[in-house]
A and B are shown apart, each in its own frame.
Chain A
Amino acid sequence: MLGTAPPGVAMAKAKAPLRLGPAVEVVVIVTGALLTAAAIFSLFLLAIGHSPVRFFELVYIGGFGSSFSFQNTLRRAAPLILTGLAFAIPARIGLTMIGAEGALVIGALAAAALAVPIVTQGWPVALTLTAMALAAVFAGGLWTGFAGWLRHSRGVNETISTLLLAYIATAVLFFFVEGPLRDPGSANRPSTMPIGRDYMIGTLPGTNVHWGLVAGILCCIVLWLVMSRTTFGFAVRLSGGNPRAALAQGLPVGKLVVLCAAIAGGLAGLAGFFEVAAVHGQANAALVAGYGFTGILVAFLARQNPLAIIPVAILFGALAASGGLIQRRMGLPDASVLVLQGTIFVTLLAAETLYGRFKIFRPRGDER
């Protein structure tokens, strides 16, 4: 990953062959993988008697073709940015934490539960929302931080523990929503008390997109800076690359593991907060919508780079936004967009093996 220039660079400069940097390598390989996936998917469409041209035309119309379509895309991308980050940050320290879904649900539940008493007491809107957001981040952080602690102190595989914790989170949500926190008015659809229209986060001026998108983009920028420009970020990357070496250097690898896990949970919890405060206005079973799991794909496609998560989440948002149009205009089943997503995922994983294979992307002087 780190393209450190060997000492011979200056000398080689005079008659250097064309060399491109690692950033270009990522763009070329990812774009190539996307095009390959599109080609494979086109064959699939042809095999079942549909026009690939029409399909991708509809993806464009449904995802970007009009102001409505683009807002639709952005709205769908908003939760994916945060859940994508929730996978990407622990991945930098070598953790494969796939339980953002659980932290999202727990964060949303915490926000909704906290809102019930303070809304009835008539707290100011800004204070209420801040308290809800903090509760969501804190609850989500504790939830996934626990998995990080299990990993560090007990050696429990974090992939398994976060996955199982996601199921537990869903069960906890159902327990509270159908039991102690149930709004008696929600007979056929158990939910917590609605926070009320006045307490909900509005949309960005002139659009139909809620503020969760802005929060997600800000988190991406901040975390990109933290990961690439601070000693903390360096320590995390070092611990992820070689934990033994990091320990030998005196880095607190254990604390870093728990902290990264907690940050991931906090991000997913924040996504949960926006689901409650900007979309549903209450907590109920609809919170378990799979955003946490789609976030894993987003982070993979972005190669765990916080900045790259933004365009990738928008791409996934566009696929989701156009899925309905494709069903309606082409008569294709809903699963067709999932097939495309799956194809993209597989080609990307296959493309991972290509990194470092092409001379043109290596630093000058590296003539292996």
Chain B
Amino acid sequence: MVRTRFSRRSLLQTSAAGVAAAALPFGRARAQADLVIGAVYVGSKVDFGWNQAHAVAMDVIRNVPGVTVLEEENVPETDAVAQSMESMIQLDGANVILGTSFGYFDPFMIDLANRFPDVQFRHAAPLWDAARHPANLGSYFCYLNQAHYVNGVAAGLSSPTGRIGFVAAKPIPTVLSNINSVLLGARSVNPEATVQLIFTGDWSLPVREAEAANALVDAGCDVLTCHVDGPRVVIETAERRGVRSCGHNASQYELAPNGFITGAEYKWETIYRLYADAFAAGEALPNVVVGGYHNDMVQNTPYGAGATEAARQAADEAIAALRNNEPIYVGPLYDNRGNLVIDRPMDNLDPELDGMNFLLDGVIGSIT
């Protein structure tokens, strides 16, 4: 990405005579009013996925006056993340730390928040609990399943057969909710639509993702979508096999010039701007920020060549409905083993949905 990044601090550091002088904590000598915000990513910043979505948002607030952005990529969910974050605080004077990977939270960010009460820590998953966790820690999250619902609507009207293939990493609630939302979106426009599912078992297994994508096309699916860290392989495989595709996490528009329909994208910049504004105004950063379409925290990628006219219209209408908080999960809904799992309309941010452990009727696949 950006090769040479110039900041006041790097100038200071470069001109500091000798190594000993450079070891002094210039970071802490900075004016208190400046926001030094450090983001830590678990993978590459250019992964066409989760990490890129965060990095793109950080690039937006990089240009806000008085804001310095620090970034580190490929930091595993081990002791390394605690060290990276502490290094940002100790050596670069960071006063807000963003942890963007699920496993960073417990124990690493909780420990750090206790040790550095003057630094604000925010983590990208709805895990923070006021009763159990430090007050300078917090959570933010975008409910991407809303954008996956829109994917489902557009896919349902773009697919000649109504058979959607889904490549998923692990059977955990966030993933299951995206799968079920694609199904409900597709069924809202085509009651016969199905979602055929393959789990790969881990977040980044490109070879297995390609195998799964090919197997789904062989099985007759004509739209592919996915929930893995980097959707690139699935989207490119779909394009090569001549079927359509829906994206996930970040924009994959350019990867599939013929078959791309639309994609589910995070809009982290809304949250990061909110933090920067609160900091500039001298206000406390909110502990919990969650949302979806109604508060501009998710979006769909601009329609690609694979989206039919009918699909574009229906998807636009679905987005408008989500902005009005119209619910996705409206009971009675049954899982694919015949059990009643949702008996009433559920608010889109209902915490009960955070524990989802079923696949709805119409999803071909199994959690176990």
Q: How many A-B residue pairs have CB under 8 A?
A: 106
Comparing A12-20, A254-262, A276-284, the segment that makes contact with chain B is: A276-284
Query: B79 contacts which of A68, A75, A174 (Cβ < 8 Å)?
Result: A75
Considering only residues 286-327 of chain A, those with a C-beta below 8 Å from chain B are 286, 289-290, 320-321, 324-325, 327
Given contacts A320-B80, A331-B4, contact A66 B87 (CB under 8 A): no
Query: Using Cβ atoms and an 8 Å threshold, which residues of chain A touch B80?
Result: 76, 289, 320
Query: A61 contacts which of B1, B3, B14, B91 (Cβ < 8 Å)?
Result: B91
Given contacts A61-B23, A190-B172, A329-B10, contact A72 B86 (CB under 8 A): yes
Question: Distance in Å from the Cβ of A214 to the closest Cβ of chain B?
Answer: 16
Query: Using Cβ atoms and an 8 Å threshold, which residues of chain A touch B202?
Result: 174, 285
* Chain A to chain B contacts (Cβ below 8 Å), 21 pairs: A48-B3, A65-B23, A66-B25, A69-B87, A69-B90, A72-B87, A76-B80, A76-B83, A189-B172, A275-B78, A279-B78, A280-B78, A280-B107, A285-B103, A290-B76, A324-B72, A325-B91, A328-B88, A329-B10, A329-B92, A331-B3
Is the beta-carbon distance between B14 and A54 smaller than 8 angstroms? yes
A32 within 8 A of B: no
A366 within 8 A of B: no
Q: Mark B129-170, 1 if CB is under 8 A from A, else 0.
A: 000000000000000000000000000000000000000001
**Closest B residue by C-beta to A278:** B79
Is the beta-carbon distance between A329 and B86 smaller than 8 angstroms? no
Given contacts A69-B91, A286-B76, contact A329 B19 (CB under 8 A): no
Is the beta-carbon distance between A188 and B22 smaller than 8 angstroms? no
Is the beta-carbon distance between A188 and B125 smaller than 8 angstroms? yes
Considering only residues 16-74 of chain B, those with a C-beta below 8 Å from chain A are 19, 22-23, 25, 38, 44, 70-74
Considering only residues 47-106 of chain A, those with a C-beta below 8 Å from chain B are 48-49, 54, 57, 60-62, 65-66, 68-69, 72, 75-76
Query: Using Cβ atoms and an 8 Å threshold, which residues of chain B touch A324?
Result: 72, 75, 83-84, 87-88
Query: A334 contacts which of B2, B73, B87, B90 (Cβ < 8 Å)?
Result: B73
Q: Report the separation of the CA atoms of residues A333 and B79 in the bound assembly, to the nearest whole angstrom.
A: 20
Considering only residues 117-133 of chain A, those with a C-beta below 8 Å from chain B are none
Question: Distance in Å from the Cβ of A218 to the closest Cβ of chain B?
Answer: 20
Interface residues on B, range: 35 or more
B77 within 8 A of A: yes
Interface centre among A60, A328, A334 (most CB of B within 10 A): A328
B5 within 8 A of A: yes
Q: Mark B86-112, 1 if CB is under 8 A from A, else 0.
A: 111011100000000011000100000
A248 within 8 A of B: no
Given contacts A188-B102, A189-B103, contact A331 B83 (CB under 8 A): no
Q: Mark B267-280, 1 if CB is under 8 A from A, else 0.
A: 00000000000000
Interface centre among B71, B83, B170 (most CB of A within 10 A): B83
B201 within 8 A of A: yes
Query: Using Cβ atoms and an 8 Å threshold, which residues of chain B touch A335?
Result: 74
Is the beta-carbon distance between B78 and A68 smaller than 8 angstroms? no
Query: A289 contacts which of B1, B76, B107, B174 (Cβ < 8 Å)?
Result: B76
Query: Using Cβ atoms and an 8 Å threshold, which residues of chain A touch B336?
Result: none
Is the beta-carbon distance between A188 and B73 smaller than 8 angstroms? no
Query: Using Cβ atoms and an 8 Å threshold, which residues of chain A touch B125?
Result: 188
A187 within 8 A of B: yes
Is the beta-carbon distance between A189 and B102 smaller than 8 angstroms? yes
Is the beta-carbon distance between A328 and B172 smaller than 8 angstroms? no
Q: Mark B228-268, 1 if CB is under 8 A from A, else 0.
A: 00000000000000000000000000000000000000000
Is the beta-carbon distance between A284 and B103 smaller than 8 angstroms? yes
Q: Mark B325-362, 1 if CB is under 8 A from A, else 0.
A: 00000000000000000000000000000110000000
B173 within 8 A of A: yes
Interface residues on A, range: 35 or more
Q: Report the separation of the CA atoms of residues A355 and B158 in the bound assembly, to the nearest whole angstrom.
A: 68
Closest 4 CB pairs of A and B: A65-B23, A286-B77, A334-B74, A331-B5
Q: Report the separation of the CA atoms of residues A43 and B197 in the bound assembly, to the nearest whole angstrom.
A: 49
Residues in chain A within 8 A of chain B (CB atoms): 48-49, 54, 57, 60-62, 65-66, 68-69, 72, 75-76, 174, 178, 187-190, 275, 279-281, 284-286, 289-290, 320-321, 324-325, 327-329, 331, 333-335
**Closest A residue by C-beta to B357:** A187
Is the beta-carbon distance between B19 and A328 smaller than 8 angstroms? no
Is the beta-carbon distance between A62 and B87 smaller than 8 angstroms? yes
Q: Report the separation of the CA atoms of residues A59 and B90 in the bound assembly, to the nearest whole angstrom.
A: 15
Give me 17 other A-B pairs in contact (C-beta within 8 A), A61-B23, A75-B83, A187-B355 excluded: A49-B3, A61-B22, A66-B91, A69-B87, A188-B173, A190-B170, A190-B172, A280-B78, A280-B107, A286-B76, A286-B78, A324-B83, A325-B91, A328-B70, A329-B13, A331-B1, A331-B3
Query: Using Cβ atoms and an 8 Å threshold, which residues of chain A touch B79?
Result: 75-76, 279
Q: Report the separation of the CA atoms of residues A72 and B88 in the bound assembly, to the nearest whole angstrom.
A: 12
Question: Distance in Å from the Cβ of A58 to the closest Cβ of chain B?
Answer: 9
Q: Report the separation of the CA atoms of residues A155 and B298 in the bound assembly, to the nearest whole angstrom.
A: 57
Is the beta-carbon distance between B83 and A57 smaller than 8 angstroms? no
Question: Distance in Å from the Cβ of B358 to the closest Cβ of chain A?
Answer: 13
Is the beta-carbon distance between A61 and B84 smaller than 8 angstroms? no
Interface centre among B77, B78, B86, B88 (most CB of A within 10 A): B78
Q: Report the separation of the CA atoms of residues A321 and B13 in the bound assembly, to the nearest whole angstrom.
A: 18
**Closest A residue by C-beta to B174:** A188
Q: Report the separation of the CA atoms of residues A75 and B86 in the bound assembly, to the nearest whole angstrom.
A: 13
Is the beta-carbon distance between B87 and A321 smaller than 8 angstroms? yes
Query: Using Cβ atoms and an 8 Å threshold, which residues of chain A touch B91?
Result: 61-62, 66, 68-69, 325
Question: Distance in Å from the Cβ of A324 to the closest Cβ of chain B?
Answer: 5
Query: Using Cβ atoms and an 8 Å threshold, which residues of chain B touch A49?
Result: 3-4
Q: Report the separation of the CA atoms of residues A331 and B73 in the bound assembly, to the nearest whole angstrom.
A: 11
Q: Report the separation of the CA atoms of residues A78 and B86 in the bound assembly, to the nearest whole angstrom.
A: 18
Query: Using Cβ atoms and an 8 Å threshold, which residues of chain B touch A60?
Result: 19
Question: Distance in Å from the Cβ of A335 to the closest Cβ of chain B?
Answer: 8
Query: Using Cβ atoms and an 8 Å threshold, which residues of chain A touch B83?
Result: 72, 75-76, 321, 324
**Closest A residue by C-beta to B43:** A334
Is the beta-carbon distance between B3 and A187 smaller than 8 angstroms? no
Query: Using Cβ atoms and an 8 Å threshold, which residues of chain B touch A190?
Result: 170, 172
Q: Report the separation of the CA atoms of residues A231 and B25 in the bound assembly, to the nearest whole angstrom.
A: 53
**Closest A residue by C-beta to B125:** A188
Query: Using Cβ atoms and an 8 Å threshold, which residues of chain B touch A48?
Result: 3
Q: Mark B191-219, 1 if CB is under 8 A from A, else 0.
A: 00000000001100000000000000000
Query: Using Cβ atoms and an 8 Å threshold, which residues of chain B touch A321?
Result: 83, 87
Question: Distance in Å from the Cβ of A72 to the closest Cβ of chain B?
Answer: 5
**Closest B residue by C-beta to A68:** B90
